[in-house]
Structure 1
Amino acid sequence: MPEQVPASLLQQDSDSRPYWDGLAQGELRIQRCASCSKAVFYPRSLCPHCHAATLNWIVATGRGSIYSYTVVHQAYGAFATATPFVVALIELEEGVRLMSRLVDPPHERIQIGAPVQVVFQNVDENLTLPYFRIIP
């Protein structure tokens, strides 16, 4: 499993607070624009598609697929002892992409398009992060 990551390493602000609160509650929250109906990730105050200030929070399904990935063999700081590990760009069913780690990946099944499901990992007493697991 992933190494301990100090919560102080991650920026949390008023735009992203519902995202972080959702993770703590076991929910992967993203935004959806009430004006153009497009999903948005990363958290922000204006829609990047239509520039409206009408973003609402929704709970994502947590399902998606691997859009791209890399295997990290050399890392620093909190991640130095966790190598090798897989970092993937995940495309959620809702249409947004986010970068995360794959946990317990069966190496023969790591491929572009492989289906994944979110899992929540407490990495610090004040921080939960979304990681993904390849699903059969």
Structure 2
Amino acid sequence: MNDKNIDATRPARPIPRQGVYVDTRPFWDGISQGRLVLQYCTAAGRFQHYPKPVSAYSGRRTLEWREVSGKGAIYAATVVRIAGPGVEGRIPLCVATVELDEGVRIIANVLNCAPADLAVGKRVRLAIDHLAPDHPYPAFELE
């Protein structure tokens, strides 16, 4: 867990709400335990993210939550250089689309990464960031 990224003098970052159409508690419970848990379609044999009420692959409700490795490679990346709400003091902010080893992509911050080190193909692993002291959020860091 990376509590050093929390600064009580900065405005709070927006906190995600539980899903309206999908119960996302397994995702958030996993993150609070330092694990990445995603929906898995048993009919198609594939993970999906973001959570949906039905499989993106089969259109069925054959979904269950499964833990993934939290490891992958950067598929695309950008550096945020202009502060938006709640990211003051975090600029430049490295952000990447990560293709997990399980074949699903997720967008997240890359922590402790200099912009010059952010590159497509680099390996990353799950890290936990905090939007507030009691709100862990998935992020990644370079391996």
- Computed over aligned residues only, the root mean square deviation of the Cα atoms, in angstroms, reads 1.9
Are 2:118 and 1:114 equivalent residues in the alignment? no
Stretches of structure 2 that go unaligned for 5 or more consecutive residues are none
Q: TM-score, normalized by length of structure 1?
A: 0.89
| Aligned position for 1:124 | 132
Are 2:88 and 1:95 equivalent residues in the alignment? no
Amino acid at match of 1:11: R
For residues 33-64 of structure 1, what are the alpha-carbon distances to aligned partners after superposition, in whole Å with 9 as ceiling and x for unaligned?
Answer: 11111111111220011101010111110000
| Aligned position for 1:11 | 17
Deviates more, 1:16-25 or 1:59-68: 16-25
Q: Is the 8 A contact 1:7 1:127 kept in 2?
A: no
| Aligned position for 1:104 | 112
Are 2:26 and 1:35 equivalent residues in the alignment? no
Q: Is the 8 A contact 1:16 1:44 kept in 2?
A: no
| Aligned position for 2:84 | 76
Q: Higher helix fraction: Structure 1 or Structure 2?
A: 1
User: How many percent identity over aligned positions?
Assistant: 28
Q: TM-score, normalized by length of structure 2?
A: 0.85
How far 1:100 moved relative to its partner? Answer: 0.4
SS of the residue aligned with 2:31? helix
